[in-house]
Structure 1
Amino acid sequence: MKTVFTTKEGVKMNSQLDFGNTANIKDEFHFLMTTYETIFEEEFDYFYRITDDGYIQLAYSYNNSKLSIKAQYKLKFQNKKENIISIVSNLIEANYLHDGYPTLKDSVIFTQLEFDKIISDIKAPKTILKEKAKQKITPLITFLEEQQLHPIPTGCNENSWTAKCPSGGNHFLQVVTTNDQWGCGYCKRKGGKEELEKWLQGRKSIKDQKRLTTMMKELEKGSIQTKKTLKWWLNRY
């Protein structure tokens, strides 16, 4: 009998949600589609499984990696295709902030037109909310723009934004404009405009110290030897 490892529903974003191992059930999954994802247009293969206890699961494999269950929900519709559309939509919506929107390479279930409709149905309400967000520019959003951290409304609601993280890492700050607060789960930092200013100043001091060390080493050889160091010195002092 095909059963689930857990009755929890959702899209797996971290280790807190475990849908179980596929080692003994991988043959129960059916091919669904191949998509292009990430800025490198990498190929991801997706598979689905419908259990005897009334669940649908969505798993993926990347570059011939082990099959991993990414999402699981109780069946909501009589029609199999509607359940597949629902779980695919939930997966894309949960990941679009991090991964953007996938494009379809091929599928045994969706036509290109049907897949495009899934994407457009997700985007449409977000576009409206993004436009509403842009009508309410707060002091924190203005500051983020001034610091070239590129704040962008998420479309989740009219007060939700993301911005480039000052750490320089490949992740982003989450910003809520109802109270002008920001947070970075990766760096484990949060606060308002004042806390962000202090963080940025600290980051600048560290960079300046490194550049000063570089300049002193160059001067020991007789002169500032790189245009980059000279430009930093002139702009800084």
Structure 2
Amino acid sequence: MNRSWLPPGKNCGLCGEVSCRSFLRSVQAQEKFYEDCPFYKETQGGCGVDWELEATHPERDVLGHGYDFVLQPLPGEISARKIVLPFRGDLVEKLEIREGDLVVGRPMGAGCPIPHVLRVIEADPITGLLTTWVVGPKFARDGQQEVKNVSAYHMVGFEGIATAIRKEPTLGCRMTFLPGFCMMSLNHTGLVNMVLQKSEGPHIRIENILILATRDWD
């Protein structure tokens, strides 16, 4: 068993834990095994079993699209930051959504069919904008915290560290990217409006988000 392997940070909940971090803690406590993660891959080599040292992303998404980069969390965070706007912006004030709250809704504005559970980092009662992390669905199921349902929202933007870079993130350009937590592994596209060069990689913000779900894109 390779102790250097890390899960991909999707926080999908398929392992039975609320996040990839809690999964690793359970592995260390010998309550879970690396094999419980659906992204833990085993390859057969000439000398036996060779375990991947880290989670990787394919060069193309599930529809065969290439992407310019993968967007991963800022240091110490659990997912890339996701900025959303509920279809009814007044729900932020009406539901008294605050930092630390759990919110569930579907990114209907971009056409995504999957509801997401979000942990609120910042809530703006004036604009209705929520800055969030994407967390696993188990958060909504364990009953330990109220989950506030906004039903549907627009994906306004993402913020995180660009990795697996094939085209350098460029200010003012529309670029394609794969959110590291995207369970569907579908290419997204957006306008880059912030690029900060950091030691861990380009820290970027990208807005005007669309899901690139077409087969004739090159």
TM-score interval w.r.t. the shorter chain?
under 0.3
**Which protein has the bigger strand share?**
2
TM-score when normalising by structure 1: 0.21
Q: Indicate the structure (1 or 2) with the bigger Cα radius of gyration.
A: 1
TM-score when normalising by structure 2: 0.23
**Which protein has the bigger helix share?**
1
